[in-house]
Amino acid sequence: MDDFGIHATALTKSYGALRVLDGIDLAVPRGSVLALLGPNGAGKTTTVRILATLTEPDSGTARVAGHDTASERTLVRRSISLTGQFAAVDELQTGAETLRMMGRLCGLRPRAARARADELLERFGLAEAAGRTAKSYSGGMRRRLDLAASLVARPEVIFLDEPTSGLDPRSRQDLWDLVRELRADGTSVLLTTQYLEEADRLADRVAVLAGGRIAAEGTPAELKSRVAGHRLDLTLASRDAYDALAPRAARLAAGRGAPATEELTLTPEELGLSLPTDGSAAHVRSLLDALDPDHTAVDRFSVRGATLDDVFLTLTGAAP
C-alpha cells in the first residue's frame, strides 16, 4: 500500500434511490497522474469528495497517502490538497497575502510563510502581480493562485476537479505544465476533466466512469487500442444516405468480432459514421466499397488515429 498515493476498493454511494457509485476500485501510484473521465453525473466529484474525506461512502474502503479515510481523517487531510472546479480566492487580498495566510493556517511561522509564498508566486508566474488584489487577476491568474494556495503545505496527494474549466488555451497549457511538475516532484494527482486531450497529455492512466462503475482503465494508448488503432470517419451526402448506411455500417463493425456498439460511432446530427480500420489503403477501400458500392452516399471521408474521444463515446455513449 505504501506504493500508492490513492488506493480505493469497492466504493459505493447512493443518494436516495440514485446509485452514484456502484463498487469502484482505484489505484494511483505515488508520483503519477490518474485521469477520471465520465459524463456529467457519472460520480467523478462524488469520488473526489469521498477520497478527500468530505463525504462518507456507503461501503468500501480507501487509503490516501497511506492513511485510512475513515479512521485516519486528520492524517489524510494533512497530506492532501483539493482544487475544485472554480477558483476559491479572496478577491480583496493580494496574491502575496493569500499565500502567506495559507502558510500560517498550515502552521508555518511568519518568516517561513513569507518564504513559501514568494517561492510559489515565482513558480506560478505571479511574482509581478503579488501586490495586486485578486479581483484584478484574469481567470487564468486566479486559477494559478488557487492552485498555488493548495500547494503551500506540499501535499503528497492533490485532487484537481476539472481544474482548467473555463480557461483560455494559454492558461490551460500553463496549468498542464504545472501538473507535470507536480508529478516530477513525486506528488500523486487525481484529475477529473471534461477535456479528453487533457487526459491524453497528462495522465499515466485513465479510468472511465459509466453507470457508477469503472467501465475501463489503462494507459491512454491501451484504451485507444480497444476501439482500434485507426478510425474511418465518413460524412454522408444526405439523410436518406445516412439512414441506409448506418445499419450496414453496424453489421460491418460487428463482423470484426465485437458488438457493434463497441466499434461503431454514430453522429446523426452531422450525418456522420466512424468505423474501426487497420489504416491500410486496402482495408479503407474495402470498407468504402462495402458501404457505398455505387459511390454516391459518402460525401467525404478521412482516416485518423483513435483518440480518447472515441474511447469515451464507445464506453459511455455520451458526448465528451
Same domain flag for 234 and 142: no
Same domain flag for 135 and 214: yes
Domain range for 252 is 225-316
DSSP-assigned letter for residue 133: B
HSE (side-chain half, CA atoms, 13 Å) at 285: 3
The amino acid present at 50, given as its one-letter code, is I
Q: What is the pLDDT of residue 125?
A: 87
Task: Please report, rounded to a whole number, the percentage of residues in the chain having pLDDT higher than 90.
Answer: 51
Same domain flag for 104 and 17: yes
Parallel, antiparallel or unpaired: strands 157-161 and 80-83: parallel
- Answer with the one of 169, 196, 218 that is the final residue of a domain: 218
Domain count, the chain: 2
195: which 3 cell numbers?
477535456
- Answer with the one of 218, 238, 273 that is the final residue of a domain: 218
CA distances in angstroms from 235 to 193, 270, 283, 288, 313, listed in the order given: 29, 7, 18, 12, 18
> How confident is the model over 159-190, as pLDDT tens digits?
998 887 777 787 788 788 888 988 998 999 99
Query: Is the model's pTM score more than 0.85?
Result: no
CA distances in angstroms from 122 to 116, 119, 130, 238, listed in the order given: 10, 5, 9, 56
Same domain flag for 66 and 210: yes
Of 248, 243, 238, 228, nearest to 314 by C-alpha is 228
CATH of the domain at 157: 3.40.50.300
Lowest mean pLDDT among 94-103, 230-239, 261-270: 261-270
Q: What is the pLDDT of residue 28?
A: 95
Same domain flag for 287 and 212: no
Q: Which residue has the cell 487533457?
A: 198
